[in-house]
Chains A and B, each alone.
Chain A
Amino acid sequence: LAKTTQPISMDSYEGQEVNITCSHNNIATNDYITWYQQFPSQGPRFIIQGYKTKVTNEVASLFIPADRKSSTLSLPRVSLSDTAVYYCLVGPPLDSNYQLIWGAGTKLIIKP
Chain B
Amino acid sequence: DAGVTQSPTHLIKTRGQHVTLRCSPISGHKSVSWYQQVLGQGPQFIFQYYEKEERGRGNFPDRFSARQFPNYSSELNVNALLLGDSALYLCASSLDSGNIPYEQYFGPGTRLTVT
Contact = CB atoms under 8 A, between A and B. Distances in A.
B21 to A, nearest CB: 13
B101 A45 contact: no
B30 to A, nearest CB: 11
A89 B106 contact: no
Interface in B1-42: 4, 31, 35, 40-42
Interface stretch (A15-23, A62-70, A100-108): A100-108
Q: Report whether over half of chain A's contact residues are helix, strand or loop; otherwise say mixed.
A: loop
Nearest to B50: A95
Given A93-B102, A94-B104, A95-B50, 18 more contacts: A34-B103, A41-B109, A43-B4, A43-B92, A43-B106, A43-B107, A44-B104, A46-B104, A46-B105, A93-B101, A94-B48, A94-B102, A99-B48, A99-B57, A100-B45, A102-B42, A102-B45, A104-B41
Interface of B: 4, 31, 35, 40-45, 48, 50, 55-58, 88, 90-92, 94, 96-97, 100-109, 111
Interface of A: 32, 34, 41-46, 49, 87, 89, 91-95, 97-105
